[in-house]
Structure 1
Amino acid sequence: MARYLGAQDFGLINYSLAYIIIFTTISNLGIDSIIVNEIIKKREETGKVIGTTICLRLISSALSIFLIFLIVKYVIQDSFVIQMITLIQSISLLLVVFDTIDYWFQSNLQSKYIVIAKSVAFSIVSLWRLALIFFEKSVYYFAFATVLESIVISAFILWFYFKYKGPKLRFSFLQAKELLSHGFYFFIAGLLIVVYTQIDKIMLGQMMGGTTVGIYAAAMTISNLWVFIPNALIESARPVIMSSKSENEASYLKKYKQLYCSIIWIGIGASICITLLSKPIILLIYGEQFIESISVLIILIWSRIFSLIGTTRAIWLSIEHLGKHQVTFVSIGAVTNITLNLLLIPHYGAIGAAIATLLAEVISTFIALLIFKQTRPLFKLILEAFLFKGVKV
């Protein structure tokens, strides 16, 4: 797809997608970070928790689409193409709300059904894109791929949920108030996270143009190819770790340390391999027109390790009721990233944005833990996990 569209149009797709990703986080309302814990604690009210979450997210998604319309109409007035592909992709916000059901499968250790749904969706969307290339369609059709993927995933998730007799979905105002209250800090933190992870593309687009965004997006795509493995591990371990907290503190900490050890060393192994093979990977997949992506990839791949450390940290903060600190950590990352982008992008383009991302991840997900007394034990735990201390079964 990148070869067919070229760096310019491929960059425009990713530039507009950055807005969609930001508003996807807004529509999630921070509830995703706490819903597994809510289901585990209130098994008999699972249907109410999930149903209420879906209703809240549907409302916020509709409002998000309206806000996106205002942004593309008044902020990006000089590009009809960006306006259209952004609006097309925004439709997916109404469909991704059904990802909420994923957390019911997670809480029952049945994530395989979600994997099946997403694998089928990926296959269908890949065939769609190949067909578009074969018939030489415009960039607008490629933008619709985001919507198509959401349709397929939602359809399969709902089918599996009802097939395996998931609890009856219902709405509760009291539950809505509780979810919004508990998820507030995670909402702010999640919004800040996605802003500083997507702001690179937006700032590159504004300061350097669509081609530079395409170069950066190509490298970012490769750097994210392998993270489904540690992410699957994190999602599978989440309910186990949360359950063990109430049973045995020592077992809880050991399991959490084992999870950190796994993702850190999987990340190091993947980063070394991709760093060594960055040139043949970029040339094989994207071709000569994306050769500038090689240097960007070598930098970005190492930032993924710290991103995963941050994802895993959210479990601990949720269990220990320290979600308010997440806002501080992510704020530090956002300010660091935006500041470094302003300083580095004008001089180094996509490479500058990659350096900004790496430094922001290191500071916000790891070093920032030293700021608060309550989070310093987690800094120590991560170091011990890296050194294989106390992780043996």
Structure 2
Amino acid sequence: MNLSNSQKKIVSNVAWSLGGKAINMASALFVGILVARYLGPESYGLMNYVISYVAIFSIIATFGMDNIEIRELSQQNDKKDAIMGTCFSLRMFFATTAYIVIAISLFYFQTDKFTSLMVLAYGLTLFTGTGNLLRNYFTSIVQNKYIVKSEMYRTFVGAGIKILLLWIKAPLEYFIYAQIFDTALVASGYYLSYKSTVGSIRKWYFDKTLVPFILKESFPLVLSGAAVIIYQRIDQVMIGDMINKTEVGYFATAGKFVDLIVFLPMVLVQTVTPMLIREKENKPETYEVKKKTFVSITTWTAIIMSVMVSSLSYWLITYTYGMQYTPTIPVLQIMAFKAVGIALSSAGGQIIIMEHIQKWAFIRNILGCILCVLLNYFLIPQYGIIGSSYVTIITVLFTGCFANLLIPAYHNVMKLQLYAILLGWKELRYFKRMIRK
């Protein structure tokens, strides 16, 4: 099969992404299972409660800049030093702001001392997370191999540390510290890759003229992202506060398998998006065809994997996490289909950003956030984590797809999504067309 240089680049990028993700997630799942079995549902639940608590405030730290960075670096690579220097400064400012807000919230809600200390410790990941700026650069130039190498470095070193902690029978807090160290490891990997392939970050500089543009473009995504983070993470916080941390452990365990389902659609989204951006600029007639194929393939990849995981839930849980996690089985059978909503949302969201209509995105996400909180508030006391599982599916599908009906500018995106759900399986054979030069 003869491939153009562009096609070879995409195929290589997809191969690196898939291979790296598969290795990283397999290793993370293996070690995660060992940690979960060692800690037990209650302590494992507390650890996930801490992670979810900080995640709710992470949108302040990133200020919705990730996709804007990728788009601008893809379109204006010659200005990368100004873009990256400015975005780095903004990220550090917003990370500091987010950390202060976390500290205030802990005081306001009078969280117990141990949990508060763990949340403040894990909050340091808001600063190490600024390394994602480097990740976004490699994504923009379609060079995922550097991302994969950095993440594999983090995975293997981090796994070794966690196994050592298991061997010495370390308490819960050490596993949370290990999670913090993981984020520092991957950030250092991105930095070393950037330094060896591009050059010193000292070339970056702050350009105040870019600040208004970046903030203006990012602001709708901040509102949107805040709502997304809340409806993706608030369930674990509400379960922990309204029931107990043990139930959080069961619920979070199902989420680990959902992450496995989502990885392939997300790799497709991250890899194909830069190509679609260039296609839109250079060949608008083929862009329309390829974005339809893009949404369909992403969605049906998630549907196929969701059905498989839901069907195998009993064996997946009992043979990995053990019988102490059997309450997770019905949760996973439902939660597996969250991946479909995420795929629809991610693919549609990228089209919204590429077509510069993201200023309305916050509306659907705020509606989804309100729906999530209200449904969880009423269903968790009566139906527990099963009720919260159904809320997750309803919220993700509503926010990522059906809420587009309420926004005229997004009607075309919704048409693509509905086609993907109903007839998108026909597009699976056209993957090559999607990446054709």
TM surpasses 0.5: yes
Mapped partners of 1:283, 1:113: distance in 2: 36
Residues 225 and 76 of structure 1: is their aligned pair in 2 closer, same or farther, counting only changes over 3 Å?
farther
Which sits farther off after the overlay, 162-171 or 136-145? 162-171
Matched residue type, 2:318: L
Task: Report the alpha carbon displacement of residue 65 of structure 1 after superposing the two structures with TM.
Answer: 1.6
Map 1:244-263 → 2, pairs under 5 A: 244-263=279-298
Contact 1:241 1:252 in 2 (8 A): yes
Task: Report the alpha carbon displacement of residue 76 of structure 1 after superposing the two structures with TM.
Answer: 3.5
What residue in structure 1 maps to residue 132 of structure 2? Answer: 99
What residue in structure 2 maps to residue 69 of structure 1? Answer: 103
Partner residue of 1:50 out of 84, 87, 90 = 84
Report Cα offsets for 1:240-280 as digits up to 9, x if no partner.
11111111222112222222122111111111111111011
Matched residue type, 1:156: G
Report Cα offsets for 1:294-346 as digits up to 9, x if no partner.
01111111011111211122211112221122111101211111111011100
Map 1:173-322 → 2, pairs under 5 A: 173-322=208-357
Matched residue type, 1:297: L
Gaps of 5+ in 2: 1-34
Mapped partners of 1:306, 1:195: distance in 2: 16
Mapped partners of 1:175, 1:136: distance in 2: 50
Contact 2:220 2:359 in 1 (8 A): yes
Task: Report the alpha carbon displacement of residue 360 of structure 1 after superposing the two structures with TM.
Answer: 0.7
Task: Report the alpha carbon displacement of residue 231 of structure 1 after superposing the two structures with TM.
Answer: 1.2
Matched residue type, 1:82: T
Map 1:155-170 → 2, pairs under 5 A: 155-166=188-199, 168-170=203-205
Task: Report the alpha carbon displacement of residue 390 of structure 1 after superposing the two structures with TM.
Answer: 6.7
Task: Report the alpha carbon displacement of residue 372 of structure 1 after superposing the two structures with TM.
Answer: 2.4
Matched residue type, 1:266: T
Mapped partners of 2:102, 2:213: distance in 1: 28
Report Cα offsets for 1:331-379 as digits up to 9, x if no partner.
1211111111011100111111111110011111111111222211112
Mapped partners of 1:37, 1:323: distance in 2: 13
Matched residue type, 1:112: K
Contact 1:299 1:354 in 2 (8 A): yes
Mapped partners of 2:165, 2:110: distance in 1: 27
Which sits farther off after the overlay, 67-76 or 304-313? 67-76
Mapped partners of 1:352, 1:81: distance in 2: 29
Partner residue of 1:385 out of 420, 423, 431 = 420
Matched residue type, 2:195: F
Task: Report the alpha carbon displacement of residue 9 of structure 1 after superposing the two structures with TM.
Answer: 0.7
How large is the Cα RMSD of the aligned pairs?
1.5
Map 1:22-37 → 2, pairs under 5 A: 22-37=56-71
Matched residue type, 1:30: G
Structure 2 residue 55 is the aligned partner of structure 1 residue 21: yes
Matched residue type, 1:360: T
Structure 2 residue 410 is the aligned partner of structure 1 residue 375: yes
User: TM-score by structure 1 length?
Assistant: 0.96
Contact 1:117 1:153 in 2 (8 A): yes
Q: Which runs of 4+ in 1 moved over 3 A?
A: 388-392
Residues 250 and 382 of structure 1: is their aligned pair in 2 closer, same or farther, counting only changes over 3 Å?
farther
Mapped partners of 1:281, 1:73: distance in 2: 40
Mapped partners of 1:66, 1:379: distance in 2: 39
Mapped partners of 1:251, 1:47: distance in 2: 32
What residue in structure 1 maps to residue 18 of structure 2? Answer: none
Gaps of 5+ in 1: none
Mapped partners of 1:160, 1:76: distance in 2: 43
Mapped partners of 2:409, 2:99: distance in 1: 39
User: Number of aligned pairs?
Assistant: 392
Contact 2:317 2:325 in 1 (8 A): yes
Matched residue type, 1:275: S
Contact 1:254 1:390 in 2 (8 A): no
Mapped partners of 2:53, 2:213: distance in 1: 28
Contact 1:95 1:150 in 2 (8 A): yes
Task: Report the alpha carbon displacement of residue 184 of structure 1 after superposing the two structures with TM.
Answer: 0.4
Report Cα offsets for 1:71-99 as digits up to 9, x if no partner.
2233133x222112111111111111011
Contact 1:33 1:314 in 2 (8 A): no
What residue in structure 1 maps to residue 16 of structure 2? Answer: none
SS of structure 2 residue aligned to 1:226: helix
What residue in structure 1 maps to residue 401 of structure 2? Answer: 366
Which sits farther off after the overlay, 268-277 or 256-265? 256-265
Which sits farther off after the overlay, 242-251 or 345-354? 242-251
